[in-house]
Amino acid sequence: MTTFKKLSNLLSKYMDQTVYVAGVGVISAIGNNVAEHLTSFERGEAGMADITLLDTIHRHKLPVAEVKLTDEQLIAITGPTTHNSRTALLSLIAAREALTDAAIPNLSSLRTGFVSANTVGGMDKSEDFFIEFLADNNKGKLKNVFDHECGSMTEIVADQLGITDFMTTISTACSSSANAVFYGTRLIKNDILDVVVAGGTDALTKFTLNGFNTLMILDKEFCKPFDEHREGLNLGEGAGYMVLVSDKVAKTLTKPLYCKLSGYNNSNDAYHQTASSPDGTGSYMAMKGALEKSGLKPSDISYINLHGTGTPNNDSAEGTAVKRLFDPVYPPMSSTKSFTGHTLGASGGIEAVFSALAIKHGIIYPNLRFETRMSDLPLEPERKFLKGQNIKHVMSNSFGFGGNCTSLIFSGI
**Each residue of 65-109: pLDDT tens digit?**
999 999 999 999 999 888 899 999 999 999 999 999 999 999 999
Q: What pLDDT digit, counting tens, does each position of 104-143 carry?
A: 999 999 999 999 999 999 999 999 898 888 999 988 888 8
Say if residues 406 and 286 touch (Cβ distance below 8 Å). yes
Same domain, yes or no, for 57 and 167?
yes
Domain boundary among 250, 272, 291: 250
Could you say which of 186, 215, 250 is where a domain stops? Answer: 250
Residue 74 lies in a domain: yes
CATH value at residue 130 = 3.40.47.10
pLDDT at 5 over 70: no
Query: Do 95 and 197 fall into the same domain?
Result: yes
CA neighbours closer than 13 Å in the CB half-sphere of residue 330: 19
pLDDT of residue 8 exceeding 70: no
Q: Are residues 233 and 183 in the same domain?
A: yes
166-170 and 112-117 beta bridge pairing: parallel
11 belongs to a structural domain = no
Share of the chain above pLDDT 70, in %: 96
Number of structural domains (the chain) is: 2
In a shared domain, residues 225 and 360: no
Of residues 127, 106, 241, 268, the one with CA closest to residue 184: 241
Considering the domain boundaries, does residue 7 fall inside one? no
Tell whether 287 and 246 lie within a shared domain: no
Task: Give tens-digit pLDDT for 256-306.
Answer: 999 999 999 999 888 777 677 788 899 999 999 999 999 999 999 999 999
**Domain shared by 196 and 275, yes or no:** no
Same domain (yes/no): 236, 332: no
Residues 119, 79 contacting (CB under 8 angstroms) = no
In a domain, 347, yes or no: yes
* Domain boundary residue, one of 228, 250, 272: 250
In a domain, 52, yes or no: yes
Residue 2 lies in a domain: no
Phi, psi torsion values for 393, nearest 5 degrees: -140, 125
What percentage of the chain exceeds 90 in pLDDT? 86
347 and 198, same structural domain? Answer: no
Q: Using alpha carbons, select from 212, 335, 359, 334 the residue that is nearest to residue 274.
A: 212
For the beta sheet containing 166-170, the strands, ordered from the edge strand earlier in sequence to the opposite edge, are 166-170, 112-117, 195-202, 238-245, 20-27, 259-268, 404-411, 393-399, 303-305, 333-334
**131 and 240 co-located in one domain:** yes
Domain of residue 344 covers 261-411
Residues 265 and 243 occupy one common structural domain: no
Rounded to whole angstroms, how far apart are CA atoms 306 and 336?
A: 8
Residue ranges of alpha helices (H) inside 119-202 are 123-135, 143-146, 150-161, 176-189
Is residue 10 in a domain? no
pLDDT band for position 12 (50/70/90)?
low
| Crossing angle (nearest 10°) for helices 281-294 and 312-326 | 40
| Contact (Cβ atoms closer than 8 angstroms) between residue 147 and residue 129 | no
Same domain, 266 and 306: yes
What's the CA gap between 253 and 245, in Å, rounded? 10
pLDDT digits (tens, 9 = 90+) for 338-394: 999 999 999 999 999 999 999 999 999 999 999 999 999 999 999 999 999 999 999
* 109 and 242, same domain (yes or no): yes
Does a structural domain hold residue 256?
A: no
Indicate the pTM of the whole model.
0.95
> Which residues are designated catalytic?
174, 307, 342
